[in-house]
């Protein structure tokens, strides 16, 4: 593979749109494997072989829905900026703050601290930027085979990034089937302007075919979470992607503002110094999201309370004080 220069010009969370004639195959293409292998060798001198792009978090199954948890770990803010050339800044986390960058779990928690994990994130991100067709063909074929082998999945594509993947959601839904769940967290407030159950619009402002999501279709017996949405008024649809707003700390997102997001049915994830002792937090219902992976798509209008992880401590400005 020859060296390429990044020419991604927009500092944004979007990715280059795939061509209209994009197709993917259940079986990974041999030539795609070679592109991945070459990227590994060229960037970090790693063995010239292909590796999966997705990660399974099977340990979470016991406290989740039983769906296998699959996530995509791209390079978070600081690492994705390493990939840019002067004047051509691209970042996976457009709405990150100084504090969240400093204590990002994608860099400071668990295995993420290790150099090999950082290298793998950089490889994946460069692949997505420079060879998006190879990248997505591979991700989709992995997703397809995972749901074939393990049944419905719970898929998070922004494990350590905040990219708007709406251009490829229809392909993801094709690969994971209607019984799987797509969920993510985002700090991009504009994505939460509407009511949580508004019909979902694609990036081209066209309605996405509701067959791709959890639309309350009468004949769809395969969607196991239908009962969660039985309260929806006719004509409203559960989202293709269950997205929770990720609070940026009291300095940027005070409880009053977060409550307006909750009012529209969205969930809001915040890191707190301790668990609330009453049923409500800042006047709203909450759930311990560390204990239940289903929280993002099981509840609406709830605070999803998380404990500090990685290098983050209780006293950090990013953390909400429960007793305040």
Which parts of this chain interact with ligand SF4 (CB under 6 A)?
76-77, 93, 96, 100-101, 104, 106, 160-162, 187
Residue 104 Cβ vs ligand SF4, minimum distance, rounded to whole Å: 3
**Closer residue to ligand SF4 (CB): 121 or 242:** 121
**Closer residue to ligand SF4 (CB): 160 or 183:** 160
Pairing of strands 303-306, 284-288: parallel
Other CB atoms within 10 Å distance of the CB of residue 324: 8
**Closer residue to ligand SF4 (CB): 104 or 140:** 104
Residue 91 Cβ vs ligand SF4, minimum distance, rounded to whole Å: 8
The structure tokens listed for 31 are 């030539």
- Which distant-in-sequence residues (6+ apart) come within 8 Å of 70 by Cβ? 54, 55, 56, 57, 143, 146, 153, 154, 155, 156
Residue 312 Cβ vs ligand SF4, minimum distance, rounded to whole Å: 9
**Closer residue to ligand SF4 (CB): 187 or 242:** 187
Cite the DSSP H helix spans in 151-220: 169-176
Residue 253 Cβ vs ligand SF4, minimum distance, rounded to whole Å: 13
**Closer residue to ligand SF4 (CB): 99 or 198:** 99
Residue 76 Cβ vs ligand SF4, minimum distance, rounded to whole Å: 4
**Closer residue to ligand SF4 (CB): 96 or 147:** 96
Beta bridge partners of 259: none
d(CA 238, CA 249): 28
Other CB atoms within 10 Å distance of the CB of residue 20: 5
SS3 62: helix
Residue 107 Cβ vs ligand SF4, minimum distance, rounded to whole Å: 7
Maximal CA-CA distance, the chain: 59
d(CA 152, CA 156): 13
The HSE-up count of residue 190 (CA atoms within 13 Å, CB side) is 5
């Amino acid at each position: 593979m020859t060296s390429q220069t990044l020419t991604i010009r927009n500092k944004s969370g979007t990715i280059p749109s795939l061509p209209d004639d994009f197709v993917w195959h259940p079986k990974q293409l041999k030539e795609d494997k070679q592109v991945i292998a070459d990227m590994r060798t060229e960037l970090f001198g790693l063995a010239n072989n292909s590796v999966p792009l997705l990660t399974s978090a099977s340990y979470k199954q016991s406290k989740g829905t039983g769906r296998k948890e699959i996530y995509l770990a791209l390079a978070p803010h600081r690492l994705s900026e390493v990939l840019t050339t002067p004047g051509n800044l691209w970042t996976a986390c457009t709405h990150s703050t100084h504090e969240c960058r400093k204590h990002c779990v994608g860099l400071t928690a668990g295995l993420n601290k290790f150099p090999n994990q950082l290298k793998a994130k950089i490889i994946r991100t460069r692949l997505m930027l420079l060879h998006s067709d190879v990248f997505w063909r591979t991700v989709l074929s992995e997703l397809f085979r995972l749901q074939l082998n393990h049944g419905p999945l719970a898929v998070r594509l922004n494990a350590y990034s905040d990219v708007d993947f709406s251009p490829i959601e229809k392909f993801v839904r094709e690969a994971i089937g209607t019984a799987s769940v797509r969920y993510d967290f985002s700090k991009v407030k504009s994505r939460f302007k509407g009511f949580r159950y508004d019909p979902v619009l694609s990036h081209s402002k066209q309605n996405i075919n509701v067959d791709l999501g959890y639309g309350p279709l009468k004949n769809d017996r395969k969607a196991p979470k239908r009962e969660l949405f039985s309260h929806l008024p006719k004509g409203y649809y559960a989202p293709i992607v269950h997205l929770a707003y990720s609070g940026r700390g009291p300095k940027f997102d005070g409880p009053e503002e977060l409550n307006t997001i909750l009012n529209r049915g969205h969930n809001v994830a915040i890191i707190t110094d301790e668990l609330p002792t009453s049923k409500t937090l800042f006047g709203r219902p909450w759930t311990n999201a560390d204990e239940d992976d289903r929280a993002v798509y099981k509840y609406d209008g709830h605070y999803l309370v998380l404990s500090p992880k990685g290098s983050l401590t209780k006293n950090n400005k990013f953390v909400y004080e429960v007793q305040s």
